Amino acid sequence: MDTELLERTARELVAPGRGILAADESNGTMSNRLAAVGVEPSSETRRAYRSNIFATSGYQSAISGVILFDETIRQKMSDGTPIPEYLASRGVHPGIKVDTGAKELAHHSGEKITEGLDGLRERCAEYFAMGARFAKWRAVIRIGEGMPSDANLSTNAHALARYAAICQEQGLVPIIEPEVLMDGEHDAQTCYDVTARILDETFAACEVQGVHIPGALLKPNMILPGKSCSDQGNREQAAQLTVDCLTNHVPHNLPGIVFLSGGQSDEDATAHLNLMNGMDVEHPWQLSYSYGRALLAHALQTWASGSNEDSQGAFAHRAAMNSLARTGDWSAELEV
């Protein structure tokens, strides 16, 4: 394990003012999004849309890395340059989604276990050779009647830790993503309690597996009430609860936290991050972003209408807004 390489890459991914673009939707998910905006889905339309985003001018100041799907890391830009090579040439680290999806957890209806450990070492070695320098594995934790179960938390924590250890062995910084979903009627305190439990279990499993924490990143949900909860609280409460939970349950030698947007509006995701970074306290880790839809939703709609330039402008704007949120300097007036 090259700890120096891992730590350097992790620090670069959460460098001041920068965050990660999550462009790792599976072929099925990306095809559905294309179809929803009136574009015929295919390997070529998926490539054309993403390569247009990657060719945006100047976004490197706000984007340090891009998470790719297996299809995308093997594709080329319109000029024939392999996508990982193109990103690296612009000072952006190529990353790769390495799990194979969440499947039903045996004997636990409604709960999921993320799979993909079989053959992971070989896949990581191949991706590193292709230029990838970090990876992502997502676990999903659902809140509901009797959920999450102890089995759901322990199996996903173990899988996240094993994934992280294998990635580091092969030179890839692991992004550890235990996502507590927003679906449900639960309140913010319940989200806090469940998030605390999965974080504790995950980092305990990482210690057992020998994961080098200074060479890893965490991609958590923010502490928010369920979408169907009658009390949605406010942005300030969400920011404070999130910081409190992370401070109490995340190792302080982790270099950075890259939040997922997870069902929030574009502006809410930016505003919450801005509030956290604007607090009068020195956080032990960098607080950054690893957004997908919160960076690209409007860009996709604009691209579907036929304007590559306007699509790039929409992406560049959202990236700039979140870059400002890294220092607490964003305001709603800048969204006009």
Picking from 47, 96, 32, 89, the residue whose alpha carbon sits closest to that of residue 293 is 32
- Give the C-alpha separation, 294 to 31, whole Å: 18
How far from chain centre, in Å, is Cα 24? 9
Fold of 3-335: TIM Barrel (3.20.20)
Q: What is the predicted pLDDT for the residue at 263? A: 83
Exposed, middle or buried by CB within 10 Å (0-12, 13-18, 19+), for 315? Answer: buried
Give per-10-residue mean pLDDT for the chain (336 aa): 96 98 96 96 97 96 98 97 98 98 96 97 98 98 96 98 98 98 96 98 98 98 95 95 98 98 92 97 97 95 94 97 97 91
| Structure tokens, 187 | 């309140």
Determine how many CB atoms are found less than 10 A away from the CB of residue 118. 9
Helix axes 188-209, 150-169, angle to 10 degrees: 50
| Residues contacting 305, CB < 8 A, separation 6+ | none
Numbers of helices and strands, H then E, in the chain: 12, 10
**Contact indicator for 205, 157 with CB cutoff of 8 Å:** yes
**What pLDDT, on the 0 to 100 scale, is given for residue 31?**
96
CA distance 85 to 83: 5
Q: Mind telling me the catalytic residues?
A: 177, 219
Q: Which residues, 6+ apart, have CB-to-CB distance to 231 below 8 Å?
A: 187, 188, 225
Residue 257 buriedness (CB in 10 A; 0-12 / 13-18 / 19+): buried
Domain extents in the chain = 3-335
- C-alpha of 264 from chain center: 13
Give the residues across from 113 on adjacent strands. Answer: 103
Q: Identify the pLDDT of residue 262.
A: 82
